[in-house]
Amino acid sequence: MALSRSRFALSPGAETLGSMSVLTKPCSDPWLTPWHTRHHDAFHATLDADPFARGLVELLCSTKYLPGYVSRPPTDGMRTKLADELKAVAEARDDDIRADLDAAVARSWKRHDLAWLTGRGWGARTAGLFRHVWTTHVRPDWPRRRALLERDVTYRAGLLAAYGWPRALQHMNRRSAWVGADAIRFSDQPGPDHIVGEGGMLFVPVCVTSGTWLAEAPPDRYALVYPARGSGDPTARPPVAPALERLIGSGRAALLHELERPATSSELAAHLGLSLGTVGGHLSVLRDANMVTGTRVGRRVVYRRTATGDLLAQT
Protein backbone atom coordinates (compact mmCIF):
# COMPACT_ATOMS: atom_id res chain seq x y z
CA MET A 1 0.00 0.00 0.00
CA ALA A 2 2.73 2.49 0.96
CA LEU A 3 4.67 1.81 -2.23
CA SER A 4 1.60 2.21 -4.45
CA ARG A 5 1.09 5.70 -2.99
CA SER A 6 4.74 6.78 -3.23
CA ARG A 7 5.34 9.63 -5.64
CA PHE A 8 7.70 12.35 -6.77
CA ALA A 9 7.70 15.93 -5.45
CA LEU A 10 9.64 19.18 -5.72
CA SER A 11 11.01 21.16 -2.79
CA PRO A 12 12.27 24.75 -3.13
CA GLY A 13 13.49 24.37 0.47
CA ALA A 14 15.68 21.38 -0.43
CA GLU A 15 16.99 23.26 -3.48
CA THR A 16 17.86 26.21 -1.22
CA LEU A 17 19.59 23.96 1.30
CA GLY A 18 21.62 22.31 -1.45
CA SER A 19 22.54 25.71 -2.87
CA MET A 20 23.85 26.88 0.50
CA SER A 21 26.00 23.79 0.74
CA VAL A 22 27.50 24.42 -2.70
CA LEU A 23 28.16 28.11 -2.03
CA THR A 24 30.12 27.40 1.17
CA LYS A 25 32.96 25.67 -0.66
CA PRO A 26 34.99 25.93 -3.88
CA CYS A 27 33.00 24.97 -6.95
CA SER A 28 33.89 21.54 -8.35
CA ASP A 29 31.08 21.22 -10.93
CA PRO A 30 31.86 22.94 -14.25
CA TRP A 31 28.19 23.60 -15.05
CA LEU A 32 27.73 25.46 -11.75
CA THR A 33 30.77 27.70 -12.14
CA PRO A 34 28.99 30.78 -13.63
CA TRP A 35 26.23 30.68 -11.00
CA HIS A 36 28.72 30.01 -8.18
CA THR A 37 30.94 32.90 -9.32
CA ARG A 38 27.99 35.32 -9.42
CA HIS A 39 26.68 34.46 -5.96
CA HIS A 40 29.60 33.24 -3.82
CA ASP A 41 30.82 36.60 -2.50
CA ALA A 42 27.36 37.99 -1.72
CA PHE A 43 26.38 34.79 0.07
CA HIS A 44 29.46 34.89 2.28
CA ALA A 45 28.87 38.58 3.00
CA THR A 46 25.46 37.60 4.37
CA LEU A 47 27.06 34.97 6.61
CA ASP A 48 29.78 37.37 7.79
CA ALA A 49 27.11 39.84 8.88
CA ASP A 50 25.19 37.30 10.98
CA PRO A 51 26.99 34.86 13.32
CA PHE A 52 23.79 32.80 13.66
CA ALA A 53 23.58 32.34 9.89
CA ARG A 54 27.30 31.51 9.64
CA GLY A 55 27.17 28.96 12.46
CA LEU A 56 24.02 27.28 11.20
CA VAL A 57 25.21 26.98 7.60
CA GLU A 58 28.62 25.61 8.62
CA LEU A 59 26.93 22.99 10.78
CA LEU A 60 24.42 22.00 8.09
CA CYS A 61 27.27 21.54 5.64
CA SER A 62 29.47 19.41 7.92
CA THR A 63 27.18 16.86 9.55
CA LYS A 64 25.81 13.45 8.68
CA TYR A 65 22.55 14.39 10.44
CA LEU A 66 20.49 17.23 9.03
CA PRO A 67 18.39 18.82 11.77
CA GLY A 68 14.83 17.72 11.20
CA TYR A 69 13.35 21.20 11.49
CA VAL A 70 15.15 22.34 8.30
CA SER A 71 14.57 19.16 6.32
CA ARG A 72 10.94 18.05 6.18
CA PRO A 73 9.15 16.22 3.35
CA PRO A 74 7.33 18.63 1.02
CA THR A 75 3.58 18.73 1.54
CA ASP A 76 2.15 19.61 -1.88
CA GLY A 77 3.83 17.32 -4.37
CA MET A 78 5.07 19.03 -7.53
CA ARG A 79 3.35 22.30 -6.50
CA THR A 80 5.16 22.80 -3.18
CA LYS A 81 5.92 26.45 -2.40
CA LEU A 82 8.78 27.70 -0.26
CA ALA A 83 6.41 29.78 1.89
CA ASP A 84 4.59 26.64 2.98
CA GLU A 85 7.85 24.86 3.80
CA LEU A 86 9.20 27.81 5.78
CA LYS A 87 6.01 28.16 7.82
CA ALA A 88 6.86 24.89 9.60
CA VAL A 89 10.49 26.00 10.06
CA ALA A 90 9.46 29.32 11.62
CA GLU A 91 7.04 27.59 14.02
CA ALA A 92 9.63 25.14 15.38
CA ARG A 93 10.13 25.45 19.14
CA ASP A 94 13.54 26.54 20.42
CA ASP A 95 13.84 23.51 22.72
CA ASP A 96 13.24 21.15 19.79
CA ILE A 97 15.69 23.06 17.62
CA ARG A 98 18.37 22.84 20.30
CA ALA A 99 17.91 19.07 20.52
CA ASP A 100 18.12 18.84 16.71
CA LEU A 101 21.31 20.91 16.59
CA ASP A 102 22.93 18.94 19.42
CA ALA A 103 22.32 15.75 17.44
CA ALA A 104 23.83 17.37 14.34
CA VAL A 105 26.93 18.44 16.29
CA ALA A 106 27.38 14.90 17.61
CA ARG A 107 27.48 13.56 14.03
CA SER A 108 29.56 16.34 12.47
CA TRP A 109 33.03 15.72 11.10
CA LYS A 110 34.08 19.19 12.38
CA ARG A 111 34.06 20.63 15.89
CA HIS A 112 31.13 22.92 16.72
CA ASP A 113 30.42 24.58 20.07
CA LEU A 114 27.09 26.30 19.23
CA ALA A 115 28.37 29.57 20.71
CA TRP A 116 26.53 31.31 17.87
CA LEU A 117 23.18 29.97 19.16
CA THR A 118 22.17 33.07 21.10
CA GLY A 119 18.89 34.80 21.83
CA ARG A 120 15.57 33.16 20.99
CA GLY A 121 13.29 32.61 18.00
CA TRP A 122 15.71 30.34 16.16
CA GLY A 123 13.03 28.91 13.91
CA ALA A 124 12.02 32.33 12.60
CA ARG A 125 15.68 33.30 12.14
CA THR A 126 16.34 30.10 10.20
CA ALA A 127 13.30 30.70 8.00
CA GLY A 128 14.54 34.24 7.35
CA LEU A 129 17.92 32.93 6.23
CA PHE A 130 16.36 30.39 3.87
CA ARG A 131 14.02 33.05 2.48
CA HIS A 132 16.93 35.41 1.81
CA VAL A 133 19.05 32.74 0.10
CA TRP A 134 16.09 31.65 -2.02
CA THR A 135 15.20 35.18 -3.09
CA THR A 136 18.76 36.33 -3.77
CA HIS A 137 20.55 33.26 -5.05
CA VAL A 138 18.05 30.59 -6.15
CA ARG A 139 14.81 32.13 -7.41
CA PRO A 140 16.39 33.94 -10.41
CA ASP A 141 17.61 30.53 -11.62
CA TRP A 142 14.49 28.59 -10.59
CA PRO A 143 12.70 28.36 -14.00
CA ARG A 144 15.70 26.57 -15.51
CA ARG A 145 16.22 24.41 -12.45
CA ARG A 146 12.53 23.50 -12.25
CA ALA A 147 12.59 22.41 -15.90
CA LEU A 148 15.55 20.13 -15.13
CA LEU A 149 13.81 18.71 -12.06
CA GLU A 150 10.57 18.08 -13.94
CA ARG A 151 12.58 16.36 -16.64
CA ASP A 152 14.11 14.01 -14.11
CA VAL A 153 10.63 13.20 -12.79
CA THR A 154 9.39 12.61 -16.35
CA TYR A 155 12.26 10.21 -16.98
CA ARG A 156 11.69 8.24 -13.78
CA ALA A 157 7.91 8.23 -14.23
CA GLY A 158 8.48 6.58 -17.61
CA LEU A 159 10.68 3.94 -16.00
CA LEU A 160 8.07 3.43 -13.30
CA ALA A 161 5.30 2.89 -15.84
CA ALA A 162 7.37 0.47 -17.90
CA TYR A 163 9.39 -1.43 -15.30
CA GLY A 164 8.15 -0.65 -11.78
CA TRP A 165 9.72 1.05 -8.77
CA PRO A 166 13.03 -0.88 -8.63
CA ARG A 167 14.05 0.48 -12.05
CA ALA A 168 12.64 3.97 -11.39
CA LEU A 169 14.76 4.28 -8.24
CA GLN A 170 17.92 2.96 -9.85
CA HIS A 171 20.96 5.25 -9.56
CA MET A 172 19.29 7.80 -7.28
CA ASN A 173 22.48 7.48 -5.29
CA ARG A 174 25.51 5.23 -5.27
CA ARG A 175 24.31 3.21 -2.28
CA SER A 176 20.61 2.77 -2.96
CA ALA A 177 19.27 -0.70 -3.70
CA TRP A 178 16.01 -2.59 -3.68
CA VAL A 179 16.19 -5.13 -0.87
CA GLY A 180 13.75 -8.02 -0.93
CA ALA A 181 10.11 -7.51 -1.85
CA ASP A 182 9.23 -4.52 0.29
CA ALA A 183 12.33 -2.63 1.43
CA ILE A 184 14.65 0.00 0.02
CA ARG A 185 18.19 0.65 1.24
CA PHE A 186 19.33 4.24 0.79
CA SER A 187 22.60 4.22 2.72
CA ASP A 188 25.30 1.88 3.96
CA GLN A 189 25.54 3.86 7.21
CA PRO A 190 24.28 2.01 10.31
CA GLY A 191 20.95 3.18 11.63
CA PRO A 192 17.42 2.12 12.53
CA ASP A 193 14.91 0.92 9.98
CA HIS A 194 12.12 3.33 9.05
CA ILE A 195 8.56 2.21 8.37
CA VAL A 196 6.85 4.31 5.72
CA GLY A 197 3.22 5.16 6.45
CA GLU A 198 0.25 4.50 4.23
CA GLY A 199 0.73 7.85 2.50
CA GLY A 200 3.84 6.48 0.82
CA MET A 201 7.38 7.74 0.28
CA LEU A 202 8.33 10.94 -1.52
CA PHE A 203 11.25 11.19 -3.94
CA VAL A 204 12.58 14.74 -4.36
CA PRO A 205 15.17 15.68 -7.02
CA VAL A 206 17.49 18.67 -6.57
CA CYS A 207 19.89 20.28 -9.04
CA VAL A 208 22.84 21.47 -7.00
CA THR A 209 24.15 18.56 -4.98
CA SER A 210 25.76 15.22 -5.65
CA GLY A 211 24.63 13.85 -2.29
CA THR A 212 21.38 12.55 -0.89
CA TRP A 213 19.56 12.97 2.41
CA LEU A 214 16.47 11.65 4.11
CA ALA A 215 13.84 14.19 5.15
CA GLU A 216 11.59 13.05 7.98
CA ALA A 217 8.29 14.09 9.53
CA PRO A 218 7.44 11.84 12.47
CA PRO A 219 5.96 9.42 12.84
CA ASP A 220 5.99 7.92 9.33
CA ARG A 221 6.46 10.50 6.54
CA TYR A 222 9.76 10.36 4.67
CA ALA A 223 11.29 11.86 1.55
CA LEU A 224 14.52 10.91 -0.18
CA VAL A 225 16.25 13.99 -1.63
CA TYR A 226 18.52 12.96 -4.49
CA PRO A 227 20.55 14.62 -7.30
CA ALA A 228 18.61 15.00 -10.54
CA ARG A 229 20.18 13.34 -13.54
CA GLY A 230 21.32 15.53 -16.38
CA SER A 231 21.70 18.74 -14.36
CA GLY A 232 23.71 21.22 -16.32
CA ASP A 233 24.05 24.67 -17.73
CA PRO A 234 22.59 24.94 -21.25
CA THR A 235 25.67 26.88 -22.31
CA ALA A 236 27.85 23.90 -21.34
CA ARG A 237 26.16 21.26 -23.51
CA PRO A 238 28.40 19.13 -25.74
CA PRO A 239 28.47 20.56 -29.27
CA VAL A 240 26.21 19.10 -31.94
CA ALA A 241 28.03 17.50 -34.88
CA PRO A 242 28.34 19.98 -37.80
CA ALA A 243 27.29 17.30 -40.28
CA LEU A 244 23.98 16.83 -38.48
CA GLU A 245 23.40 20.59 -38.38
CA ARG A 246 23.96 20.84 -42.13
CA LEU A 247 21.57 17.96 -42.73
CA ILE A 248 18.54 19.03 -40.66
CA GLY A 249 19.35 22.53 -39.40
CA SER A 250 20.92 23.72 -36.16
CA GLY A 251 17.65 23.99 -34.17
CA ARG A 252 16.41 20.50 -35.02
CA ALA A 253 19.90 19.07 -34.54
CA ALA A 254 20.13 20.58 -31.04
CA LEU A 255 16.69 19.26 -30.16
CA LEU A 256 17.49 15.77 -31.47
CA HIS A 257 20.74 15.78 -29.53
CA GLU A 258 18.90 16.92 -26.39
CA LEU A 259 16.45 14.01 -26.68
CA GLU A 260 19.17 11.62 -25.59
CA ARG A 261 17.00 11.87 -22.48
CA PRO A 262 13.20 11.85 -23.02
CA ALA A 263 11.47 15.17 -22.35
CA THR A 264 8.25 17.11 -22.89
CA SER A 265 8.06 20.04 -25.30
CA SER A 266 7.94 22.55 -22.42
CA GLU A 267 11.01 20.98 -20.80
CA LEU A 268 12.88 21.17 -24.12
CA ALA A 269 11.86 24.79 -24.59
CA ALA A 270 13.10 25.77 -21.12
CA HIS A 271 16.35 23.86 -21.42
CA LEU A 272 17.22 25.04 -24.95
CA GLY A 273 16.00 28.61 -24.48
CA LEU A 274 13.50 28.37 -27.37
CA SER A 275 9.84 29.28 -27.63
CA LEU A 276 7.29 26.52 -27.20
CA GLY A 277 6.04 27.16 -30.76
CA THR A 278 9.54 26.75 -32.21
CA VAL A 279 10.06 23.50 -30.34
CA GLY A 280 6.64 22.25 -31.45
CA GLY A 281 7.48 22.98 -35.08
CA HIS A 282 10.82 21.17 -34.86
CA LEU A 283 9.21 18.18 -33.14
CA SER A 284 6.54 17.96 -35.83
CA VAL A 285 9.16 17.75 -38.59
CA LEU A 286 11.29 15.25 -36.68
CA ARG A 287 8.25 13.12 -35.90
CA ASP A 288 7.16 13.10 -39.57
CA ALA A 289 10.69 11.99 -40.48
CA ASN A 290 10.49 9.14 -37.93
CA MET A 291 13.32 10.60 -35.86
CA VAL A 292 11.30 11.11 -32.67
CA THR A 293 8.11 9.71 -31.21
CA GLY A 294 5.77 10.96 -28.50
CA THR A 295 4.07 8.97 -25.74
CA ARG A 296 1.32 10.32 -23.51
CA VAL A 297 2.10 10.04 -19.79
CA GLY A 298 -0.86 11.38 -17.84
CA ARG A 299 -1.51 14.90 -19.16
CA ARG A 300 1.92 15.26 -20.75
CA VAL A 301 3.42 14.01 -24.00
CA VAL A 302 6.99 12.75 -23.55
CA TYR A 303 9.21 12.72 -26.62
CA ARG A 304 12.10 10.35 -27.25
CA ARG A 305 14.33 9.49 -30.16
CA THR A 306 13.56 6.55 -32.41
CA ALA A 307 16.22 4.13 -33.61
CA THR A 308 16.59 6.33 -36.70
CA GLY A 309 16.98 9.39 -34.51
CA ASP A 310 19.66 7.63 -32.44
CA LEU A 311 21.64 6.83 -35.59
CA LEU A 312 21.45 10.40 -36.87
CA ALA A 313 22.38 11.89 -33.51
CA GLN A 314 25.61 9.91 -33.61
CA THR A 315 26.50 11.34 -37.02
- List, for residues 143-155, the tens digit of each pLDDT value: 888 888 888 888 8
Cβ–Cβ under 8 Å, residues 292 and 306:
yes
Burial 82-101 (b: 16+ CB within 10 A, else e): beebbebbbebeeeebeebb
To 5 degrees, how large is the angle CA 9–CA 14–CA 15?
A: 100
Cis link prior to 219 (omega < 30° from 0)? Answer: yes
Q: What are phi and psi of 57, to 5 degrees?
A: -65, -40
Cβ–Cβ under 8 Å, residues 66 and 60:
yes
pLDDT number for residue 177? 63
- Pick from 59, 197, 79, 201: nearest CA to 129: 59
Q: DSSP for 114-154?
A: -TT--SS-HHHHHHHHHHHHIIIIIGGGHHHHHHHHHHHHH
Q: DSSP for 2-35?
A: TTTT-EE---HHHHHHHHHHHHTS----GGGHHH
- From CA 229, how far away is CA 16, in angstroms rounded? 18
At 90, which amino acid appears? A
Burial of 252 (0-12, 13-18, 19+ CB in 10 A): buried
Q: Is the pLDDT of residue 19 over 70?
A: yes
- Pick from 72, 47, 129, 59: nearest CA to 101: 59
Q: 232 or 70, which is more confident?
A: 70
What is the mean predicted confidence (pLDDT) over 106-116? 91
Reported confidence tier of residue 250, pLDDT bands at 50, 70, 90: confident
pLDDT tens string 256-308: 888 877 788 887 887 777 888 999 999 999 999 999 988 876 677 888 888 88
CA dist 168 to 8, 11, 122, 172, 196, Å? Answer: 11, 19, 38, 9, 18
